[in-house]
Amino acid sequence: MTDVRCSWCGAAIEPDDGYRAAEQAGERLAAFCRLEHVVPWAIQGPHWGAGTLTPQPREEPALRACAHCGEPLDDTRVLLVRHRGEYRIADAFCTTDHLRAWATAGGRWQ
């Protein structure tokens, strides 16, 4: 049923697993089987596909500041949503570069 593949290694990703990255303003999407694969992807390009997150993550104050540098964000932000079973855990970043830096450091559970 699922046709989601990792934007870096091409591995199939289950709907309730992995990570989805989105540049909402540009309607661009990427997916990752694991957080570590964000890093080489961001360094190499990054290569986005067209699309939007479905559903969109719930708007919350934490998504208004970069999870890496704390700068306030506008709608050019980059979102990263972790799919973990029924949970969707979103973080936001000012740039793909800060998403990369955050993922390099181990993300939320560093």
CA dihedral over 108, 55, 32, 92, signed as positive or negative: negative
- With CB under 5 A as the contact rule, the residue among 12, 25, 69, 89 that binds Zn ion is 69
The per-residue DSSP string of 6-21 comes to -TTT--B--TTSSEEE
Residue 60 per-residue DSSP state: -
The identity of residue 76, as a single letter, is T
What mask of x and - would describe binding to Zn ion in positions 18 to 57, judged by CB under 5 A? ---------------x---x--------------------
Name the segment binding Zn ion (CB under 5 A); options: 19-27, 52-60, 80-88, 90-98: 90-98
- With CB under 5 A as the contact rule, the residue among 4, 31, 94, 99 that binds Zn ion is 94
Cα(74)–Cα(13) distance, rounded to whole angstroms?
29
The identity of residue 1, as a single letter, is M
We find the least distance from the C-beta atom of residue 62 to Zn ion, in angstroms, to be 13
Residues that bind Zn ion (CB under 5 A): 6, 8-9, 11, 33, 37, 66, 68-69, 94, 98
